[in-house]
Amino acid sequence: MVKKVYLAEPRGFCAGVEMAIKALSFLVQAFEAPIYCYHEIVHNKIVVDRFKNKGVVFVDSIDEVPEGAIVMLSAHGSAPEIVNASNEFNRLSVNAVCPLVSKVHHEAKTRASKGFEILYVGHAGHDEAIGTTAVAPDHIHLITDENDLENAIHKIGDDKEVALLAQTTLALSEWKDIQDKAYENYPELWTATRGDLCFATTNRQSALKELVKLSDVILIIGSSNSSNTLALEKVAKESGCERVYRIDSAEQIAGINLHDDDVVGVTAGASAPDDVVQSVIDACASFEPVENVRVIDEDEYFPLPSQLRNLVMDMNFAVDSMFSKLRESKGISNSASVDLKRVFQNDKEVSASEVLVG
């Protein structure tokens, strides 16, 4: 047991993750297994395992997806050639890319078409970075640290227009330091009017900084391959907390040396389900009531992928056509028509955490 638990607000699922999880959940319920997914739908082991248990097959190559199968592309964004290939061989492809990642892809494509060289700040090997650099591979320079920046500046020279883009899930400090140095070399550097860093990522980092002021221990819930979760861990340490632990689930709390006089701050990366957060809070068993630390209310909503909405409209038309003659022969009014258009009418009110638990 601990003395008290402070819980970050906001935390956990962002709008992009909400959209992707609900979209894949619909496919799982509407069609027979297997459903294929290119890369992990989100970077969270618990979420991925739950979908595996429902018959989802996660692949790292579109070639692994059979002809005529249903395939979803992950929230992190995919290379253009992957998007195109996913529609070949009569596959039904649903692209669950986060709109904020799509925005960066558009920026990269536009700047490259205008002759810019692009400094892209991101993590080598991360799905989002792989997908974005593939948009304009001849013009994008992946920057993971200041050494990469120096090498890119030397390669680009002084006679090119230069743009600066970023992986959406970075810690603010990772982006800001490189941005400042890039401006020193390129005073006319182009950057997006609205920055590339995801609002949900920065909101969670802001809430975490407030938690650090109140807590002896910080527990960050999320998987080790989640960039935004690792960014939270980095922010907590930079903010002065000496006892920072990243955990996947409540089971790992047993390995942490908590004391009955500890004040514990709890937050979660953007891919961590809320029921897992609740189990961690329960495992802490604080003497005092849990208290929320709120820095902002998030109300962002991303509609389900257009391919999925169009699919449901097509299904509605097909079902209606099949039964129209039957209704006529039985004297049934057309008002009895099947209306699949209403399937998603309450989507905004239903959380992805609820969908996963269900």
What is the rounded distance in angstroms from the CA atom of residue 35 to the CA atom of residue 141? 35
Q: Which amino acid, residue 64?
A: E
Q: d(Cα 149, Cα 44) in Å, to the nearest integer?
A: 30
Closest CA to 208 of 193, 195, 222: 222
Q: Is residue 174 annotated as part of the catalytic site, yes or no?
A: no
Whether the CB-CB separation of 79 and 135 falls below 8 Å is answered with yes
Helices marked H in 239-338 — which ranges?
Answer: 274-284, 306-330
In the set 18, 40, 117, 128, the catalytic residue is 128
Q: Is 77 helix (H, G, I), strand (E, B) or coil?
A: coil
Amino acid, res. 340: L
State how far the Cα of 171 lies from the Cα of 201, in Å rounded to an integer. 8
* Rounded Cα gap, residues 52 and 356, in angstroms: 12
Burial class (CB in 10 A: 0-12, 13-18, 19+), 315: middle
Catalytic residue annotation? 128
